Amino acid sequence: MIVADRKPLEEILESIKDFDKIVLMGCGGCVTICFSGGAKSVELLASQIKIARKKQGKEIEIIECTPERQCEFEYIDPCKEKFESVPVVLSIACGVGVQTMNERHPDTITIPGLNTKFMGYPVEHALWEERCAGCGNCLLEWTGGVCPIARCAKKLLNGPCGGSSDGKCEVDKEIDCVWQIIYDRLKKLNKLENLTAVRKPKDWRTSTSAGQRKVEFKEAML
Amino acid sequence: MKSGSRLEKVLESGAFSVTAELGPPQNANVESVKKKAKHCIGNVEAANVTDNQTAIVRMSSIAAGVIALECGLEPVIQMVCRDRNRIAMQSDILGAAALGLKNLLCLSGDHQVFGNHPDAKGVYDIDSMQLIAMVKQMRDEKTFLCGDEIKECEPKFFIGAAANPFADPFEFRVMRLAKKIEAGADFIQTQCIFDIEKFEKWMKLVVAEGLHKKVYITAGLTPVRSERALKYMKNNVAGISVPDELIARMEKAKDKEEKMEEGIKICLETIEAVKNMEGVAGIHLMPIGWESVTPTILERAGLLPRPKV
């Protein structure tokens, strides 16, 4: 899932300071699950904004709305009447949702209320960790299903570096050394030979180095 | 001869080699490079010129290396993967060779969060293993990483790499050294050794695998002037092992003079210990911020004068 985190309230207030009426739009997808952009978060943020604006003596009207997904036309279009007459939508969906809104409804400005962080999953209740960097050429087959591109601070393919200590990364003792995890996993699988060959440099074209990427599913095209 | 560097010649001759370290300044002062080089000229085979170590912006290692060379000190150019992609690295490798530099040490590099531009984007297009292989490919196959031919004047470097016997997982450290040799490393400099016991354990595994016959392994040493430096490394630098016993020895020394003497003694004892270990081909001295101690230590260790090659 896509994991996002709410922007600081001050930054949000600054971005909507010129408006006295906004639509606050959440998303029923990933950000609902990571507690940052679902219907409950919409309700909470709306009250925080109203209280802050009341204190400033500049009251604001907020129309709340949370489509099932903000990243698909068929889910945002039915909300159109809510934001049609309003100049700005504050979106607490991921960056994809914000852009879907701007592209589909260009007469309304949609601004972000979240910082979109990564693809990951909850490793424990209310704690999400990054797992996939979307590099476009999955190598999990030989690493025992553990990704060094998403999880190594130096994106090493022949790790671990000399900064791996007691299972932790030199960058931050709160971060596990992913190469220690890979090593332990392959040892358990009796596949340490996967680490003996020198891995060649990665072709970053499948990642973000060669411009915007597209995925086509020809069979399903109309 | 792969590069014809002095370091290569000394190691080839079977003599015990000595290298040191020269950190370029955080400015464009030629004199400060020359001043630091003075402690090394004639006392060592070559000196590592660090590449923005600890991710703090400094004069480029190639530029400072050329200044050192002009003073009569052979440099080992350090190159890290943090700041340049494969295009810039190959370009700098050609440039360094054109300027007469002959030793290149390939490193991943200290992560940018430790330096003075923690907000920088780390590059890490290729890793240190791939950098070693790339320098070897340019030298031996006369091709660029992409396969294009280097039509003339291929860069001929004596290729160095680092090894850290004190990092985890310990069992993987010998395997990683074997990989660096397979990639093309000609010589190795280790992380600084305070924990002689652990280093010896690693060396025994290295020798058991016969790796010491495929690469020159030089032992990294950092003389210290105070217990503070040791404590700092123990608590803040990942992948360094500092026995409490050494800290206690430094604490026992009363004043500045005594502490300096104790630091030198510890270093001399370590030199003696590694010299007697099978497979150790030389030492690499890294007196961080205390470059002036280099000649004293080498003199007292009986490592001067350096052999003629």
Q: Would you state the pLDDT for residue A128?
A: 97
* Residue A222 reports pLDDT greater than 80: no
Instruction: Report whether A92 contacts A67 (CB < 8 A).
Output: no
ipTM rounded to 2 decimals: 0.94
Domain ranges of chain B: 6-300
* Residue B35 reports pLDDT greater than 80: yes
Please state, for a pLDDT cut of 70, what percent of chain B lies above it: 100
Q: Which residues of B touch A198 (CB under 8 A)?
A: 129-130, 133, 179, 182-183
Summarised one tens digit per residue, pLDDT across range A128-166 is 999 999 999 999 999 999 999 999 999 999 989 999 999
- Rounded to the nearest angstrom, the minimum Cα separation between A200 and chain B is 6
Tokens 């985890």 belong to residue = B168
Summarised one tens digit per residue, pLDDT across range A12-21 is 999 999 999 9
Report which of A219, A6, A221 is spatially closest to residue A112, judged by C-alpha positions.
Answer: A6
How far is it, in rounded angstroms, from Cα A88 to Cα A202? 42
How far is it, in rounded angstroms, from Cα A68 to Cα A77? 11
Instruction: Report whether A117 contacts A130 (CB < 8 A).
Output: yes
Q: How confident is the model at residue B289 (pLDDT cuts 50, 70, 90)?
A: confident
Annotation: CATH topology of B6-300: TIM Barrel (3.20.20)
Domain ranges of chain A: 2-117, 137-204
Q: Would you state the pLDDT for residue B208?
A: 98
Residues counted in chain B = 309
Q: Would you state the pLDDT for residue B238?
A: 85
Q: Which residues of A touch B126 (CB under 8 A)?
A: 201
Summarised one tens digit per residue, pLDDT across range B232-282 is 999 988 889 999 999 999 999 999 999 999 999 999 999 999 999 999 999
Name the CATH architecture for the domain at A2-117: 3-Layer(aba) Sandwich (3.40)
Whether residue B125 lies within 8 A of chain A, CB to CB, comes out as yes
Q: Which residues of A touch B124 (CB under 8 A)?
A: 154-156
* Residue A85 reports pLDDT greater than 90: no
* Residue B43 reports pLDDT greater than 80: yes
Tokens 């219907």 belong to residue = A39
Q: Would you state the pLDDT for residue B84?
A: 98
The residue in chain B having the minimum alpha-carbon distance to the alpha carbon of residue A179 is B169
Half-sphere exposure of A203 (CA within 13 A, CB side): 7
Whether residue B113 lies within 8 A of chain A, CB to CB, comes out as yes
Of A162, A168, A196, the CB nearest to B179: A196
Dihedral (C-alpha) B30, B31, B36, B37: value to the nearest 10 degrees?
A: 70
Whether residue A144 lies within 8 A of chain B, CB to CB, comes out as no
The residue in chain B having the minimum alpha-carbon distance to the alpha carbon of residue A177 is B168
Dihedral (C-alpha) B120, B122, B123, B127: value to the nearest 10 degrees?
A: 160
For residue A61, give the 3-state DSSP assignment: strand
In angstroms, how far apart are the furthest CA atoms of chain B?
63
Whether residue B42 lies within 8 A of chain A, CB to CB, comes out as no
